[in-house]
Amino acid sequence: MPPTSPTPVLIVDDEADLRNLLVEALSDQGYEAEGAESGEAALAKIRQRHFPVVLTDLNMPGGLSGLDLVQAIRQEDPKAFPILITGYATTESAILALKSGAYDFITKPFKFAEVEASLTRALDHYRTRRENEAYQQNLEAMVEARTEEILGLKDEIERLFEGFVQASVTAIEARDPSTSGHSARVAELTVGLAEAVNHTPNGAYGHVHMGEQQLRELRYASLLHDFGKVGVREQVLVKAKKLEEGRLEQIFQRQHQRSLEALVGELRGAWAKGLPYDPAFIEQLLLSHQQESEVLMEMLARSNEPSVLAREVASELDRVAGLAFDHWTGVRRPLVDAPDLELLRIPKGSLSAEEREEVQSHVTHTFRFLSKIPWTRELADVPEIAYAHHERLNGRGYPRGLQSTEIPVQSKMMAIADVFDALAAKDRPYKSAVPVDKALLILEEEARINLLDANLLQIFIEAKVFERTMARIF
Ligand SMILES: [Fe+2]
Ligand SMILES: [Fe+2]
């Protein structure tokens, strides 16, 4: 069937009669047929425009033969389909024609219908091939577009997640402003230590090398390691002294009341004995009660501090346990209530055993929270790494008391960063900042008694990883 838009066809033959005959006949059939009298003339035309089919005579004396032309067409315009017209039909010539790249061959003398049939077959094949190419190109474009879309989505998800992590960090720090910046600094120090380990080819961690994804995983674990603090009561979390705020003031007020009670009793006694009104005597009594109160209050204020409780203060507290005052209801009550006295007796720090346990539970809260997130494969260890940040090499860490071999190396790195920041940062309520050299000495001591990893600490110190956050701490 003739094509709807004229298809260019080139007829190459040195015999003008045959050539013109074919050009005319094909033009009548609706093709845009052109003739060329030699292989060279044909090539010149092929270089100018694309002919889907080129019909060429095999024997063209002087110049390119039909076979040469077929081969040249393959170079110049590989999409074209050459058809050879041979003067004699032998199997050899047929094989040669096809081998040289001809699509088909026609033997002379031929009927026009044969030419037409071969041409139609060649064009059908030509069109199928073009359609396949178009389909292929379309498919490639589609794949490219989809890939771009997926990469865009991946980017979006990563940005979304980064935002979520930052928002979580904000939530922790809003809960405990005194540790503001801690998460970010621990992330910076932990990743800094991991990078320093990457650059250390020898030693106990010479074989450890973390790729970009692992560093990312470590960064997220570090940023979120204390997230569980949102599950700890605020008054415990930010507790700077042993007693709740206002409590000590209340005790001081009670002591004032006790002094007045004693004064009233002493004055009653004096008047009962018939002693006269003596302002100097009253002044002296007042002064002595004032002094007694001051000593007691100073001792109570001292025992309210989170520092180590001195032995003499502890025995003073035993004495306080026996002191009482008259409540306005007329009931005799202890000067310091038993739970408060218990808190004042805390030997070190500001937290009672239960409160300490509650603070320590932040690790389990962190793990539960992080375990609910459907992490991607590359970030799958974030919950486990964060879960072990308070575990210690000697098995005395919390919450699980893991042995050294059970603690992920990432958590061992984080533990060093965490302790360093806790010591060196100025913003903890229960202690003032420790100078860097002293903080490093404390870390070394902790490594010596098998709490922190000594090899990692050595890298932390030698590579000066701790300097990474110094500008933000001091
Ligand atoms: Fe922690
Ligand atoms: Fe921490």
In CATH, what number is assigned to the domain containing residue 51?
Answer: 3.40.50.2300
Q: Tell me the CA–centroid distance for residue 251 and ligand 2, in Å.
A: 34
Regarding whether 221 and 147 lie in a shared domain, the answer is no
Q: Residue 381's domain is classified under what CATH number?
A: 1.10.3210.10
Distance 262 CA to ligand 2 centre (A): 50
Ligand 1 centroid–CA 324 distance in Å is 41
8-12 and 32-36 beta bridge pairing: parallel
- Which listed ligand is nearest to 387 at the C-alpha? 1
Ligand nearest to the CA of 422: 2
- What residues make up the domain containing 59? 8-151
Q: Give domain status of residue 238, yes or no.
A: no
Give me the percent of the chain exceeding a pLDDT of 70.
96
Residues 6+ apart with CB under 8 A from 91: none
Pairing outcome for strands 81-86 and 324-326: unpaired
Q: Tell me the pLDDT band of 429, cut-offs 50, 70 and 90.
A: low
Spacing, Cα 234 to ligand 2 middle (Å): 16
Tokens of 26: 């094909």
Q: How many angstroms does the Cα of residue 80 sit away from the middle of ligand 1?
A: 73
446 with 334, same domain? no
Please give the distance, rounded to the nearest whole angstrom, from the Cα atom of residue 362 to the centre of ligand 1.
7
Tell how far the Cα of 390 is from the centroid of ligand 1, in angstroms.
Answer: 6
Distance 183 CA to ligand 2 centre (A): 7
Q: Output Rg (C-alpha) for the chain, integer angstroms.
A: 47
Q: How far is the CA of 390 from the centre of ligand 2 (A)?
A: 9
- Which tokens sit at 372? 């609910």
Q: 362: CA distance to ligand 2 center in Å?
A: 10
Q: Report whether pLDDT(3) > 60.
A: no
Whether residues 223 and 364 fall in one domain: yes
Q: Which of 140, 162, 160 is nearest to 152 (CA)?
A: 160
| pLDDT of amino acid 474 | 44
Calculate the average pLDDT of the chain. Answer: 91
**What is residue 471's predicted lDDT score, i.e. its pLDDT?**
63
Number of domains in the chain: 3
User: In a 3-state reduction of DSSP, which class is residue 472?
Assistant: helix
Q: Which ligand is nearest to the CA of 182?
A: 2
The answer to whether residue 2 scores a pLDDT higher than 50 is no
pLDDT at 5 > cutoff 90: no
C-alpha to C-alpha distance for 10 and 81, rounded to whole angstroms: 10
Which residue from 186, 219, 168 is spatially nearest to 365, judged by alpha carbons? 168
The H or E element that residue 107 is part of is: strand 104-107
In a domain, 236, yes or no: no
Distance 419 CA to ligand 1 centre (A): 9
**Three-state DSSP state, 6:** coil
Query: How far, in Å, from the CA of 140 to the mean position of ligand 1?
Result: 51
Name the domain boundary from 151, 181, 205.
151
Ligand nearest to the CA of 414: 2
Instruction: For residue 386, give the nearest of 244, 226, 215 by alpha carbon.
Output: 226
Surrounding residues of ion ligand 2, Cβ less than 5 A = 226, 418
Could you give the CA distance from residue 99 to residue 77 in angstroms, rounded to a whole number? 17
444-468 b/e (C-beta count within 10 Å ≥ 16 → b): eebbeeebbbeebbbbbbebebbeb
Give the ranges where 51-176 is alpha helix by DSSP (H): 66-76, 91-99, 112-175
Q: How many CA atoms lie within 13 A of 38 on its CB side?
A: 7
394 Cα–ligand 2 center, Å: 20
How many angstroms does the Cα of residue 210 sit away from the middle of ligand 1?
23
User: If you measure from the C-alpha of residue 215 to the centroid of ligand 2, how many angstroms do you get, rounded to a whole number?
Assistant: 18
Q: Which of 84-93, 120-129, 168-177, 355-364 has the lowest mean pLDDT?
A: 84-93
Give yes or no: residues 410 and 374 share one domain. yes
Kindly list the strands in the beta sheet with 104-107, ordered across the sheet, starting from the edge strand earlier in the chain.
32-36, 8-12, 53-57, 81-86, 104-107
* Residue 396 pLDDT exceeds 50: yes
298 and 417 fall within a common domain: no
Question: Is the pTM value of this prediction over 0.85?
Answer: no
Contact in structure between 399 and 360 (CB atoms under 8 Å): yes
- 229 CA from centroid of ligand 2 (Å): 9
Q: What sign results for the dihedral spanned by CA atoms 463, 465, 471, 474?
A: negative
Residue type, 454: A
What pLDDT does residue 89 have? Answer: 63
Can you read off the two tokens belonging to residue 57?
């005579």
The verdict on 397 and 459 lying in the same domain is: yes
Do residue 27 and residue 135 come from a single domain? yes
Q: How confident is the model at residue 432 (pLDDT cuts 50, 70, 90)?
A: low
pLDDT higher than 60, residue 111: yes
